[in-house]
């Protein structure tokens, strides 16, 4: 933990215990520097961290003050642990919602793509031009599956940097992560099979289930803990589940991530019942910290997890890449991009 994080933690604990109460003015930056012996930049970073977390507020020409008490949002009612449905009919409704995003007066909060204005477009354009000039003539043609060898090798190296052994020969590039997810689901199921999804779930998962004529069991999902694993165990005992589709990191729409221990228990439950996992990790590149959390695939030793990822959420629109990776068992895949 850095020095500014230690100072922020100390002040945060003082606010929790009532040393500093709502509306109180905190010691000035210079007073804190003099008292703590830390640099002005370190103290300023600590105060800015607390402000970004909602603990304190700055007032121009006045200093920093304790913010109103933080309120932890809670659900007004708990969703049912299990919600089975033999028929999924949602495609028409989703289409109407997405169409509404074309209205200039509508803010498309359902879109999970970054705004192009957030990127250094000039620098990116120069880089693309440079790469295009260096690209061999055969590199500009149509690339058939499994995709560009250099790209697959680069993706394998990214896996290796995270301690995951993935051969370039196991990687297949697709035209988008949703295609990879659909391929994974299709490889594990047949029409009429039961599939576990999260509740609430990414709408694309529900569309895929409807398209493949599958039955769904929705399992309650928590923003902090992820899927209710006790409810999942009940579903695995009660229904002939063939596949599970979930987002273990930055779940859409809740935004939460499963703890590492829960990911391992999830994999153990699926292995116990012989169920494959389609791991939707399209937001795997979105994280705050020095290293991203590992996907469930990191603990997979049986080729049970079909890990699907994408660069499209951290890359300018229309420049995304996605793919899926074959697992060690015949007919199993896992995805990357």
Q: How confident is the model at residue 189 (pLDDT cuts 50, 70, 90)?
A: very high
Q: What CATH number does the domain containing 291 carry?
A: 3.40.640.10
Among candidates 188, 237, 196, which has minimal Cα distance to 215? 196
Asked whether the beta carbons of 197 and 245 are under 8 A apart, the reply is yes
183 and 61 co-located in one domain: no
Number of domains in the chain: 2
Do 57 and 151 share a domain, yes or no?
no
pLDDT recorded at residue 334: 41
Residue 140 lies in a domain: no
Quick one: 151 and 228 in the same domain? Answer: yes
Q: What is the CATH number of the domain that holds 54?
A: 1.10.10.10
The whole domain housing 30 covers 3-66
To 10 degrees, what angle do helices 260-272 and 229-238 make? Answer: 10
Q: How many CB atoms lie within 10 A of CB 58?
A: 13
- Using alpha carbons, list the distances in angstroms from residue 4 to 12, 29, 39, 42: 12, 12, 9, 5
Which CA distances in Å does 142 have to 22, 115, 122, 139, 154? 62, 29, 27, 8, 19
For residue 336 the two structure tokens come to 């990357």
The CA distance from 193 to 279, in Å, is 18
Rg (Cα) of the chain, in Å, rounded?
A: 24
- Examine the pLDDT at 41 and tell me if it is beyond 70: yes
Structure tokens belonging to residue 242: 């063939």
Q: What is the mean pLDDT of residues 116-135?
A: 83
Q: Are 25 and 65 in contact (CB under 8 A)?
A: yes
What percentage of the chain carries pLDDT values higher than 90?
41
- Are residues 282 and 213 part of one domain? yes
Cβ neighbours, 10 Å, residue 109? 8
* Phi, psi torsion values for 299, nearest 5 degrees: -100, 5
- Residues 42, 159, single domain; the answer is no
**Tokens standing for 326?**
């074959």
Does residue 50 sit in the same domain as residue 173?
no
Name the residue with higher pLDDT: 115 or 252.
Answer: 252
In a domain, residue 136? The reply is: no
* Contact criterion met (CB below 8 Å) for 335 and 180: yes
Question: d(Cα 301, Cα 236) in Å, to the nearest integer?
Answer: 21
Question: 230-286: per-residue pLDDT in tens?
Answer: 999 999 999 999 999 999 999 998 888 999 999 999 999 999 999 999 999 998 888
Q: What is the pLDDT of residues 46-98, one digit of tens each?
A: 898 888 788 999 888 889 999 987 655 454 456 678 777 777 777 777 777 76
Do 88 and 58 share a structural domain? Answer: no
The model's confidence at residue 118, banded by pLDDT at 50, 70 and 90, is confident
Bridge partners (DSSP) of residue 171 are 325
DSSP assignment string, 118-165: GS-HHHHHHHHHHHHHHS-GGGGSPPPTT--HHHHHHHHHHHHHTT--
Residue 121 lies in a domain: no
The pairing of strands 56-59 and 305-310 is unpaired
């Amino acid at each position: 933990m850095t020095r500014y994080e230690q100072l922020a933690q100390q002040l945060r604990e003082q606010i929790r215990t009532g040393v500093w109460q709502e509306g109180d003015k905190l010691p000035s930056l210079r007073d804190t520097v003099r008292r703590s012996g830390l640099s002005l930049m370190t103290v300023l970073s600590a105060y800015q961290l607390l402000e970004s977390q909602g603990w304190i507020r700055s007032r121009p020409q006045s200093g920093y003050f304790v913010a109103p008490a933080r309120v932890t949002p809670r659900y007004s009612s708990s969703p049912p642990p299990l919600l089975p449905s033999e028929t999924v009919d949602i495609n028409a409704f989703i289409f109407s919602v997405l169409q509404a995003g074309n209205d200039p007066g509508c803010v498309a909060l359902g879109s999970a793509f970054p705004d192009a204005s957030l990127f250094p477009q000039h620098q990116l354009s120069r880089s693309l031009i440079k790469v295009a000039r260096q690209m061999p003539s055969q590199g500009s043609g149509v690339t058939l599956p499994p995709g560009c060898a250099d790209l697959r090798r680069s993706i394998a190296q990214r896996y290796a940097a995270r301690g995951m052994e993935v051969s370039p020969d196991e990687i297949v590039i697709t035209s988008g992560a949703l295609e990879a997810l659909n391929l994974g689901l299709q490889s594990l199921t047949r029409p009429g099979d039961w599939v576990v999804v999260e509740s609430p779930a990414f709408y694309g998962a529900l569309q895929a289930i409807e398209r493949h004529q599958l039955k769904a069991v929705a399992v309650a999902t928590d923003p902090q803990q992820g899927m209710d694993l006790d409810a999942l165990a009940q579903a695995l005992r009660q229904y002939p589940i063939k596949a599970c589709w979930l987002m273990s990191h930055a779940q859409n729409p809740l935004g939460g991530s499963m703890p590492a221990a829960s990911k391992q228990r999830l994999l153990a439950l699926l292995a116990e019942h012989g169920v494959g996992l389609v791991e939707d990790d399209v937001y795997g590149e979105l994280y705050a910290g020095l290293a991203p959390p590992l996907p469930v695939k990191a603990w997979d030793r049986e080729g049970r997890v079909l890990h699907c990822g994408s660069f499209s959420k951290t890359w300018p629109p229309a420049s995304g890449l996605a793919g899926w990776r074959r697992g060690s068992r015949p007919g199993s895949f896992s995805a990357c991009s």
